[in-house]
Amino acid sequence: MLEATIKQTEPMTVAYIAMRGAYSQIAEGYGSLYGWIAQHGLQATGMPQAVYLTSPADTPESEALFELWAPVASTEELAPDASDVGIKHVPSTTVASTMFTGPYDAMYPTYESLRAWIEGQGYRIAGPPSEIYYSDPAEVPPEQYVTEIVFPVSKL
What is the mean predicted confidence (pLDDT) over 82-86? 95
Tell me the per-residue pLDDT of 27-72, one tens digit each, with 9 for 90 and over.
Answer: 999 999 999 999 999 999 999 999 999 988 889 999 999 999 999 9
Other CB atoms within a 10 A radius of the CB of residue 59 amount to 13
Assess whether pLDDT exceeds 90 at residue 75.
no
Assess whether pLDDT exceeds 90 at residue 86.
yes
Q: Give the contacts of 72 (CB within 8 A, at least 6 positions apart).
A: 13, 14, 15, 37, 42, 43, 44, 45, 87
- Give the span between the Cα atoms of 95 and 150, in whole angstroms: 6
Query: pLDDT tier at 1 (50, 70, 90 boundaries)?
Result: confident
CATH code for the domain in which residue 109 is found: 3.20.80.10
Q: Tell me the residue range of the domain where 56 lies.
A: 4-155
CA distances from 150 to 28, 49, 114 (A): 23, 10, 9
Q: Give the contacts of 10 (CB within 8 A, at least 6 positions apart).
A: 92
- Give the span between the Cα atoms of 17 and 2, in whole angstroms: 31
Assess whether pLDDT exceeds 90 at residue 87.
yes
pLDDT of residue 56: 83
Asked whether 45 and 34 are in contact (CB, 8 A), the reply is no
Mean pLDDT rounded to a whole number for the chain: 96
> Running DSSP on this structure, what letter comes out for residue 109?
H
The tally of domains found in the chain comes to: 1
